[in-house]
Structure 1
Amino acid sequence: MTTSTRLLHRKRFLPLMVTQFFNAFNDNLYKTAVVLFVVYAVYNDERQEALFSGLASVLFIAPFVLLSALAGQLADTRDKAAIVRVVKLCEIGWASLGAIGLFLAWQGIAVHSFAIPLLLFVVFLAAVQSTFLGPIKYAILPQHLKKEEVLPGTGLIEAGTYIAILTGTILAGFVSVELAMVLVVLTSLVGYVSARFVPEAPPQSDYEMHYPLLEPYRDRVPSRPLRWLGMPFVAVADQAVMSFKLVRNTMHNRELWLAIVAISFFWTIGAVLFIQFPPLAKNQLLASKEVASLFLVIFSIGIAIGSVGINALLKGKVSARYSPASVVVMGAFLIGFYLVAKLWIPNEAGQLLPVEAWILEPLAIPLSLMLLGISTAGGFFVVPLYAFLTTRCAHDAASRTIAANNIVNSLAMVGGSLFAIALTTIGMPVVDQLLFAGAMTVVAAWLGWLLYKAEKDAAAAAEELARVAAG
């Protein structure tokens, strides 16, 4: 029995794994169900549909920018298991509100004046909840697992989260809105029950580092206060300053900073495409919401294929050698996707086609292959860049580097989403916005080339230093 298999039978790991799985599942089920329902059942105008999809994306990303540093501080200063339980209890609240919003929109009650604003507000609440749960799912592992179990445990959490996101996204496209609202609430209840079984995880720095002799009297030692002076908006401003300093510190390492900016460009392209998929599928391709969900699935599968492929190509070596060419190929597939979409001839009946009928359309397979090519080339581009973040920084700065990357990524995705909204506002058709995403790959290729050049310069400098030291 492998270490990973054994962990799945351990009470110190399984409840956390289940809790995180259902959290990621519910977030994506709700957000995707909301976007697809509103785009397909409420609006009948491509501009409104694209604006709604873009606004939902911005609201889902914004909490990760605003609250990640505060969430990390909270996780470091309080019992992580207690936070998990509180956060999952809050999920029942937002899931219930979301179900009410979906019910009102489904029944046509105060759709534009109340139901849609409520749905968007709940998208924001769901992202806030995930923001506060995010730092805990990894930070809690060293407290509950043995040293040799941390790596496989992290891998299981990552794999479970990826499967949950994919499952929630697929299911949202294939279930009715009435079933979706029930599933969201039921999933939140299951998640809370599993959270009740997560073992306690007090802040280690308080007891194991600062008060080692007080370990038997843990309950009597006061928790460290959060730096928010009793005012939440002061806390957010305080954490914004911390985030700025965190990002600024990575700029001193040219390789790290170029990798972070290049990754951010990639996910900005991804964010723009995710915004475009639902209105594009409905209006340009005359396809049902199941097809829009299928696009998201194909994109995710392509990233996975690219991740495996580039690892085999580089043979374990961390290098940006193939990144510039990969993103150029990605841009070529994007242009191909745009051309096929422009050439698409709507079916004669003018009706939205389900997956089984849409896939028989003459250009459906070429379009799907173009999308798969986009995401596969994207995987080739971005995976080595992530490896830079942990191999080119000081050993004691890996977590801070990842945090800085997450902040810049989120800011870039918000910026890309807002730009897509602006293009929609001025009347640019969604299909033509694909060219904007294609143009961004040129910038990404330039950044990849700069990174590879910096990589070669650093290697040459290291060789010269070794030669001087030896001679």
Structure 2
Amino acid sequence: MTTSTNLMRQRRFLPLFLTQLLNALNDNLYKNAMVLFIVYQVYDSPEMETLISGIATALFVLPFVLFSATSGQLADMRDKTRIIRWIKFAEIIIMSVGATGLLLAARGVSVDSLAIPLMFTALFAMGVHSTFFGPIKYAILPQHLHKDEVLAGTGLVEAGTYVAILVGMMLGGAMPIMWSIVAVIVIALVGYATCRWVPPAPAQTDETQVDWNPVRASKSLVAFSMGNPELRYSVLAISYFWTIAAILSVQFIPLAKNVLLADKQVAAVMLVAFSAGIAIGSVSINALLKGDISARYSAASVLALGAFLVTFYLLCRIWNLTPAGELFTVGEFLVQPLALALLANLVLIAVAGGMFVVPLYAFLTTKVDKSEASRSVAANNLISSIFMVIGAGVAGGLGFLGIPLQEQLLASLFLCLLSAQLARKLHALEVPAGEAFR
């Protein structure tokens, strides 16, 4: 914890931390404000809610599949800080476009023909923006931090991302639309001003030729990640974890409504608990490992995640409470006998997840040469995005087949076992600490 506290006072870390936090905050504020406004103010239809949410998610994830390979090459072959500044400047333009779409929709002007296309264009552009920023926020850490600080820095970045996602989701749902319009532009401006303080991070390679063909570059990137055993095990284990997270996130709202008989605000509380747990686990693992980048606790963490999933499943099975009205409100839900145990269990699932995944992200940037760190993270982003889409599809398929929501929770147990096995293999390959940085 001392290392984490110290890093937050350092220019070599704090501006980057704040920049990536503001980035995640703006992404989620805009996405949630846009989706909720379209659903409740433009169409106000349950069927359209599902469609719009699905389209929004697909548009945001698609750039990670298309451009991760290019983003990794570019970040390795150019000064990372300069790229950050261009990305954050682009965010101002993107959010101006999105805000214009929101404003037109709020005024009822050309809603279908102009406002909604502008909003979705901005959302896709923010996905591209995040695709190019993603590899840098982890790969820059070994350049700016000492080797015994990288794990703490990775944990703080991961925790900050989840806190920002949480706050962005809450603000997007709570603020009036006009406030959201102003907020996304202001946050973009503040993010650009903050990124100007990030120290230079020049390229660590003499390579200068970027392959702009996304298909060829993606194939090369996957081959690169699978050719290094430590990188292969890390990427696959992280991807399985995010598949679990994707399955759970798809199930939260229908589980809250149809099993716990609770309203959307309770589903939001569940998401808050999950995000808070990830943040806690992300910071706590550094204290446990004392700065050492190691997968020695990763297998145990993901097995614990699986065990907590089983207890969460059992709590859902024995939940047999009927609300006074149609659905439990947050206040009514929290006073139910099993509610606090259920939320605590959800937090523990997320804590175990954070403790599992953070050391693996540190592996991505420290078990390869610094000149390849961005490509390592980009490979993970590409493969994880594909796995997450598959996971969300599996969750939807299970529901379509009529499998009860409680039983759907158990579908993730197989992935927990796979992740634990990969973590064991990764730990077996660990080299002495003095050789971990080349």
* Band the TM-score falls in, shorter-chain normalisation: 0.7 to 0.9
Question: 2:192 is paired with a residue of what secondary structure?
Answer: helix
Counterpart among 350, 360, 369 of residue 375 in structure 1: 350
Q: How does 1:112-127 map to 2 (within 5 A)?
A: 115-116=115-116, 118-127=118-127
Match of 2:434 in 1: none
Question: 1:226 is paired with a residue of what secondary structure?
Answer: coil
The answer to whether the 8 A contact 1:338-1:434 is kept is yes
Match of 1:34 in 2: 34
Aligned: 1:332 with 2:310: yes
1:183 Cα offset (Å): 1.1
Aligned: 1:417 with 2:401: no
Aligned: 1:296 with 2:271: yes
Distance 2:376 2:264 in 1: 38
1:275 Cα offset (Å): 3.1
Q: How does 1:68-467 map to 2 (within 5 A)?
A: 68-106=68-106, 115-116=115-116, 118-140=118-140, 145=144, 151=150, 157-198=157-198, 201-203=201-203, 205=205, 224=208, 226-228=210-212, 235-250=213-228, 253=229, 257-278=232-253, 281=256, 289-306=264-281, 318-319=295-296, 322-323=300-301, 325-336=303-314, 338-339=316-317, 343=320, 345-348=322-325, 350=326, 353=329, 355-356=330-331, 358-360=333-335, 364-379=339-354, 381-382=356-357, 399=373, 401-421=376-396, 426=400, 432-433=404-405, 435-449=407-421, 452=424, 454=425
Q: 1:50 to 1:85 in 2, by over 3 A?
A: same
Specify the structure having the higher radius of gyration (Cα). 1
Distance 1:181 1:352 in 2: 32
1:85-112, Cα deviation, whole Å (9 max, x unpaired): 3222221222123223334555566666
Q: TM-score, normalised by structure 2?
A: 0.76
Distance 1:404 1:358 in 2: 42
The answer to whether the 8 A contact 1:64-1:410 is kept is yes
Residue type at the aligned position of 1:186: V
35-44 vs 323-332, which moves further? 35-44
Q: 1:303 to 1:119 in 2, by over 3 A?
A: same
258-267 vs 32-41, which moves further? 32-41
1:180 Cα offset (Å): 2.1
Distance 1:244 1:458 in 2: 20
Q: TM-score, normalised by structure 1?
A: 0.72
Question: 2:411 is paired with a residue of what secondary structure?
Answer: helix
Q: 1:290 to 1:411 in 2, by over 3 A?
A: same
The answer to whether the 8 A contact 1:54-1:418 is kept is no
Distance 2:38 2:321 in 1: 24
Q: Unmatched 5+ residue regions in structure 2?
A: 431-438
Distance 2:419 2:413 in 1: 10
The answer to whether the 8 A contact 1:284-1:344 is kept is no
The answer to whether the 8 A contact 2:138-2:377 is kept is no
Distance 2:201 2:54 in 1: 38
CA RMSD of aligned residues (A): 4.3
1:263-285, Cα deviation, whole Å (9 max, x unpaired): 32221121132234345556766
1:379 Cα offset (Å): 4.1
Residue type at the aligned position of 2:408: F
Distance 1:280 1:266 in 2: 20
Distance 2:5 2:363 in 1: 30
Number of residue equivalences: 425
Q: 1:339 to 1:118 in 2, by over 3 A?
A: farther
1:150-191, Cα deviation, whole Å (9 max, x unpaired): 747666555544443333233334333332222112111222
Q: 1:455 to 1:155 in 2, by over 3 A?
A: closer
Distance 2:22 2:76 in 1: 23
Distance 1:308 1:370 in 2: 19
Distance 1:271 1:142 in 2: 29
